[in-house]
Structure 1
Amino acid sequence: MTIYLATIAASLAVSLCSLTSAFALWLPAETLKRIVPFLVALAVGVLLGDAFIHLIPDAVARHGSVSDVCLTVLVGVFGFFVLEKLVRWRHDHNVDTRPGAEILPLAKMNLIGDTIHNFVDGILIAGSFLADPILGWTTTLAIVAHEVPQELGDVGALLRGGYRPRQAVLYNFYCSLSVLPGALFTLLLSQVAESSLLVLLPVAAGGFIYIAASDLIPVLHERSSFRHLGGQSASFALGIAFMQGIVLFEQTLLTP
């Protein structure tokens, strides 16, 4: 029972990290409009950094076969391609023509990818607590560290996709709650959940790569001034640096 309560508490703590994006509710509309492109660039760096520095190496360490993991990543990319086709098809057939009602597919895809990633985080948290409570808390701390920059980038992508600030913060929080089902799934079916990571980790990586490359990077090319070149490049690099720094932080925490 203690492990169950600790796992739920840790999962809720990770979910609450999404509320760091609430700064969007207090910024003036013009200021928010100016910084959104840089938040999108940050999201690109975080998504690609998380995929290549965190998720794929973790999947390889668990699976042992680089080629199988890479194939599953490609399955993830293909799956998100098909999913976006369906999202865009529904988008094209949407008869809601109210001003401001249009939400771009890139925002919906970001929500889907983030939901899968948070579900995976829930599995990792619960699995760690089942192995050792100390490992559970260190894993939670490591996940919290990488959630903060990711949530900042996610809210930028949602704002760029047409959501109002309040909607972006709320939907981002709702997606973060998928940590709880992932944790409960692991607590009830630990062996099945652990095995599912062999597929879920590379699929999530494939989704992140697809969303960053297909949906977000083209948005960054809409503005080509020198200010945007410098600022967006710095934000992109900062996102990657965050992920690399967090991997080093995780290694420090989890090394006996």
Structure 2
Amino acid sequence: YDDECPNSAEDFDGFMDDDGCPDLDNDGDGIVDELDSCPDEAEDFDGIDDSDGCPELDDRDGDGLMDADDQCPDEPEDFDGFEDGDGCPDEDNDQDGILDAQDRCMNNAETYNGYMDDDGCPDIAPRENLNGVHFEFNSAKLKLGSQQILDELVRALKANPDVNVQIEGHTDDVGSASYNKDLSGKRAKAVVDYLISKGINGSRLSPQGYGEERPIASNKTPEGRLENRRVEVIRMN
């Protein structure tokens, strides 16, 4: 046959063996075959193992998810049972700021209520003031914005299904004691009704109105009266 390289012997490596020329870099990727782990497939030079001579076209991070479907093609999925189909490692599944490695409840966000806030679990404190739960004036109707606070309590109760709580309503001393006690009881029941509407079993919830009987601040100032108008959650077991 016609030898295109009469002064260089063909290497007979299965690649263009009939031209008479030795093929030092079959795939033409600049990596000589003797150093190329994939001599017949050109390196794609994508910044991942570019010296091995192999293209990482389908799954650069080697996590079994093809790059076309992988939101993090250069970071392998951690396959921890949380969003494993997106191709991204999830270091904080519940996004509560506590990394999964230190999070006892990696799929349930911490509640940050001042009680065991570093374990990563939605705990229910022995006694908790539901700051942010407010009612319309002289009414047991919840104000807008209160639901967000109560939804956090719903989440904690669902994460702790064996815990029962008492919902306490408290007022300041403006008005008669009997009226305040009645109003506080209605407000406590309104909170219980909301929790039940979100799937919490009513047998776990006990509403109690104390009116002005248990102030936590002076009723002589507007600031003190504001503190005394509150809803508290008491863990019963």
Q: Please, what TM-score do these two structures have when normalized by structure 1?
A: 0.23
> Considering only CA atoms, is the larger Rg found in Structure 1 or Structure 2?
2
The structure where helix makes up a greater share of residues is 1
The structure where strand makes up a greater share of residues is 2
Q: Please, what TM-score do these two structures have when normalized by structure 2?
A: 0.24
